[in-house]
Every structure is written in structure tokens, then in C-alpha cells.
Amino acid sequence: MCAFVARYHTMIECKNLSKIYQSGDMQTVALNDVSFSIEKGEFVAIIGPSGSGKSTLMHILGALDSPTKGEYFLDGQEVSKLDDDELSQLRRDKIGFVFQAFNLLPRTTVLRNVMLPLLYSDTTDQQREDRAKACLAYAGMEESKFLNLSNQLSGGQMQRVAIARSLINNPAIILADEPTGNLDTKTSQVVMKAFQELNQKGHTIVLITHEQEIAAFAERVISIRDGIIESDIKNTKK
């Protein structure tokens, strides 16, 4: 658990994804025939302005929404054909989420926040605690803070806890949605370096952002605008 992950196959494959919202006689095309793939162990930023379609794409990648057309495969499984129960299981087992707002329980300890995804798993209390401690250390969280309440932490520390929680089920991908949106510039850089360190250990990371300076931490940047991929380039400045 929380150890080096080898790179060896395609983790994400999107084939001709479209998402169309219907309101009466009006159609809104949020995504228009989007295709790309991400290999296991890549660190990819998906960047675009408000209304570009990146949030819609994030919801599809996170199995929180389904495309109107097209196919989405995660770790070899065709997500676009799963039912609600199967999608719930896939989110639990395959995707680690990190959100802008941290989504931690405020009057709960750091350790228990990280243990929560394991609450209904077939593990003992001691196993859950051991795994949570390992993931917190892996995410760079100081052991002296493990028993602090989450509302006693700085923004950067809370995001490290959120990263540790995202790792607890050993997911196929880490999906980070604007993870620095509530942080100052200095703290944002610290958090993004933590993501780089995770990526160097082999984790597949997909980052959603609207900020060029945050996307620059990734090894590859996919730019989206008006529901269409504008560019898909390797980050040579990384």
C-alpha cells in the first residue's frame, strides 16, 4: 500500500466523447468529439477557461456523469456502459479524488479523515489505522499532526490530508479538481510539488485547472476550449 507504482499500460482512453445538454428545444454542446489517452504513470493537466468543457470532462473521467456519445475506458474497463452500482464501485476502487474545498470533516482528526473511505471495507480498525498512517506519511504529512482536528490545519496541510485520503484505496488514478484553488501562491507550489513527487513514484495523476502556472507542474498539458481539444503537448519546461 502506498508504494511505488510501475508504468506499463494505457490507463485512460476517451474515444469521440460528446456531452450534449438538452433544455426544451435548445441544445448545449459541452464536449464535442473529444479523443485522447493517458498512460499509466503520466501526470496530465487538463486546462481551459470557464465554460470550456473541462468540468464536464472531469465529471466523465470521475465516473460522476456519462457521455451522450462516445466511449470511456478506465484501466481497461468501459465506464460508459456501467450501471449506477457498478459506477459507485468503480469510483470507490479506482479513483482517488482531491477537491478544491478539501472535503474534510472539520471536527474529526486527520487520521480518521483518511480512514473514512475504509469504514465499510473488510478491514480491521488496526489495518485501517496502519494504512491511513502510511498514506499520510507518503503524502508528506508530519506525524505530529495525525491526531489534530482537520480545522486546526493550514490550507496546505489540509490538502495533503486530502491527497492521503485519495490514496487509501490504492486507486488507478488520482483526479485532482482545482486542488490549489483555495491556496495562496506559495502553498500552491508546495502542494503541486507533492503531486510531482507522487507522480515520480509512478502514480497516474489527472489535474483539472484554469491556471497556466499550475498546469506547468504536469508533464503533459491538454488544452480544451468550447468543448474541443485545442492542443495536447508535452511540457518541456517541467
> What distance lies between CA 157 and its chain's CA centroid?
17
Q: Residue 6: its pLDDT value, please?
A: 52
> In the numeric block, which cell numbers belong to residue 194?
507533492
Q: What is the dihedral of CA 6, 10, 11, 12, to 10 degrees?
A: 160
Q: What is the dihedral of CA 211, 212, 216, 220, to 10 degrees?
A: 100
The predicted-structure confidence for 158-183, as pLDDT tens digits, reads as follows: 999 999 999 999 899 999 999 998 89
The model's pTM: 0.89
Of residues 46, 66, 27, the one with CA closest to residue 179:
46
Q: Residue 53: its pLDDT value, please?
A: 94
CA angle 175, 34, 196 (to 5 degrees): 30
Q: Residue 32: its pLDDT value, please?
A: 96
Low-confidence ranges of the chain (pLDDT < 50): 4
> In the numeric block, which cell numbers belong to residue 67?
457521455
The predicted-structure confidence for 126-155, as pLDDT tens digits, reads as follows: 999 999 999 999 998 999 999 999 999 999
Q: Residue 226: its pLDDT value, please?
A: 95
Q: Could you give the domains of the chain?
A: 17-234 (3.40.50.300)
Residue listed under C-alpha cell 474515444: 15
